[in-house]
Amino acid sequence: MKAILLIDDHIIFAKIFAAYLLRTKFRNSTLQSARDVYSATEHLESKTFDLIVLDNRIPPHFNYVESVKLLISANWQGPILLVSGDNVNVDTDVLENQYIRDFILKDDLNEHTLEQAIVKCLSFPSPK
């Protein structure tokens, strides 16, 4: 059983994500949600996760880069699945981007794309 932390400020998306997760082979995973990176770091202090699913634009940050820096400073060393309503160019030469293992457009999210992305994220070794 995997533990997944979803960081997204939209409650509706969190419900949609949870519904799709139930239709994948990861349906028995535990799913915790955080509406901002600060509460996500609190979750990281009290629980171990296998994967973080991160929205590209979590307030107060304009994009995921600052959010990833905060997660790294909270000792996160695992994979991140980036989700966004817009296309995102992930430059893997940047340290923070080495944690991003896959990207899904929110409009393309379904049980198949989600399962494939989780498998891809969990198959890579940690960057450190």
Q: Domains in the chain, start-ordered, CATH in brackets? A: 3-123 (3.40.50.2300)
pLDDT higher at 18 or 127: 18
**Tens digits of residue pLDDT in 57-80:** 988 777 898 999 999 999 999 999
Instruction: Give the tens place of pLDDT for each residue, 96-106.
Output: 788 999 999 99
- Identify the burial level of 97 via C-beta atoms within 10 angstroms of its C-beta, where 0-12 means exposed, 13-18 middle and 19 or more buried: middle
47: tokens are: 């629980």
Is residue 74 within 8 Å of residue 45, measured between CB atoms?
yes
In contact, 81 and 64? CB cutoff 8 Å: no
Determine the pLDDT at residue 126.
66
Confidence label for 48 from pLDDT (cuts 50, 70 and 90)? very high
Bond prior to 59 in cis (omega within 30° of 0): no
